[in-house]
Amino acid sequence: MRINKQTALVFSFLCVLSVGFLAGFWMHDDDDKYFALRKNFQIFGALYEQLVTDYVDDLNPETLMRTGIDAMLTNLDPYTNFFDEADNGDIEIMTRGRYGGVGLNVGMRNGKMTVISPTEGTSGYLQGVRTGDILIEVAGQPTSGLSFSDVRNILRGEPGTAVEISLSREGIPEPLDFLLTREEIQLKNVTHAGFIGEGKEAGVGYVKLARFTRDASKEVKEAIEQMQKESQVKGLILDLRDNRGGLLDEAVSIAQFFVPKGSVIVSTRGRLPQTENTYRSKVTPIFPDLPVVVLINDMSASASEIVAGALQDLDRGVIIGSTSFGKGLVQIVKPLPYNTSLKITTSQYFTPSGRSIQAIDYKLHDGAFSEIPDSLRRTFKTAAGRLVKDGRGIEPDLPVSLGASSELEQALIRRAAFFFFANHFAASQPTINTDFVIDDKLYDAFRAWLNTQDFSYRTRAEMAAEQLGSNLEDIGYAAVADEMSALQEAIREEKATDFERHKVRLQERLRVQILARYHGDAAQTEAALAVDPQYASAIEMLGDHKAYQQVFLP
């Protein structure tokens, strides 16, 4: 049998892997497991070789191997991932928060490849690319034939190189062409900081931490110190909502700012002895007495939960919002041959009280998973004796809902209606002030614009009524047809009032999007916080010393 060069390359990759794996098991496991590993690896290698060389159709060795790798990992937790050479750049972004690119955050909106936001200070931002611009071509290739990952990979590249893009912008009939220079993009961890809204009068500072890449702790420290230079900081709101985590060391460093020296911040435990570590605060806190509120939601995960869990267990901060995601699994990145990597789960982490915040059980390793039931959740105590439970993420000390969004609002979000109307408005309005409001005239213009976009949506009540009518017809209850028609008409009349009934929330969403077109992310953030009930609760809590201290009572 002849093995082509590509097959030999992949097969040698397997052999290199086997040497490392077998050596590891020789040292750490018993002979039975070593024999099983060697036996099954030989079977797998022989099967792979036979398929590539003898199968009736020509097979791509790399594609076949990737299928096998993906199948193996599917049975484990979703955080254990293989990165091939093309994807390995994502590791740099996850750990260092930087990459080579033109600074355009793009995504699909209403089926079109759209600029979500240009990164301030980058080539795309400085040369005038705007939020809402539609990407028509990248590097001479129509985006209609490219996937999101294709476009992302084309825009990224070696710093100093250039890429041509062509954009469509509402209000301008001809495409706009740009030659953008790739550069090292350093993603900010702290995306907004300062005294905002009611916080200005109360002396409450606000820090929005979007991720935990390298220098996250440095950015948080600098943000707080800058506010201290401007005014007396009487309290701090650390916003970890939608922060999916990052580097464990950065989470530990941030917690150290607030907790007593020597405090346990987090510990990790896994199958192997080297995965057992206890991370303690090694320094004197630089903000030892500063009252702190941490905002979390269901997308706050991993490193966010380490910080929130440490401050909660040590009774050092009040947690406000909704229950966090519940990711208590720790991953490390292992380099593999040919510039590939494996991000592998090696341990679980535990908060200072000893609780795991992992909410999903993947231990069966069969691709299935389940939530940890209440009957198996254990109770722990904070430093002051408050009761906290494991197995469900970080549960807030003060649960505060953002309020349920209406079916109309959800439908408008799915259609990116606020986003695209903001583009439409900006095409005809050169400037607006930061105190801009959505008056009745503009709100009516928004509704009129929706009619030109053929916007429609169906409510659950409409669908339920239609299903009921169909069921009644199937069983021959024709006599109630008039009643069903009256019910459906009543539902349509009620639905017609949705734009008025939910007017305030819709106006708020529209204002946030429009402000972003003129005054950037800062104005957008401040506009959103102005109507944010969780932020308002944090301001109120930090303004009431007695209420703040009562949270920590057992």
Catalytic residues: 302, 313, 327
Q: Give the torsion sign (CA, 327, 332, 336, 339).
A: positive
Q: Residue type for 220, please?
A: V
Three-state secondary structure call for residue 365: coil
- % helix, strand, coil for the chain, step of 5: 45, 20, 35
Buried b (16+ CB within 10 A) or exposed e, 354-366: ebbbbbbebeeee
Q: Which of 188, 232, 191, 177 is nearest to 214 (CA)?
A: 188
DSSP per residue over 245-313, as a string?
A: -B-HHHHHHHHHTTSPTT-EEEEEEESSGGG-EEEE--S--SSSS--EEEEE-TT--THHHHHHHHHHH
- Residues contacting 17, CB < 8 A, separation 6+: 336, 337
Q: How far apart are CA 525 and CA 413, in angstroms?
A: 18
- Size of the chain in residues: 554
Q: Which two tokens stand for residue 472?
A: 């009644």
Range 5-15 burial, b when 16+ CB lie within 10 A, else e: eebeebbebbe
E strand intervals along 396-487: 398-399
H helix or E strand, kind and range, residue 287: none
Bridge-based pairing of strands 183-186 and 370-371 is unpaired
DSSP state for residue 476 in the 8-state scheme:
T
How far is residue 488's CA from residue 520's CA, in Å, rounded to a whole number?
Answer: 44
What's the CA gap between 40 and 36, in Å, rounded? 6
For residues 197, 201, 203 and 207, what is the CA-based torsion angle, rounded to 10 degrees?
0
Nearest-angstrom CA–CA distance, 84 and 98: 19
Please count the other Cβ atoms lying within 10 Å of the Cβ belonging to residue 177: 11
Exposed e or buried b per residue across 402-424, where buried means at least 16 C-beta atoms within 10 angstroms of its C-beta: eeeebbbbebbeebbbbbbbbbb
CA dist., res. 521 & res. 116, Å (int): 11
Cα separation values, 99 from 90, 94, 157, 187, Å: 8, 10, 8, 8
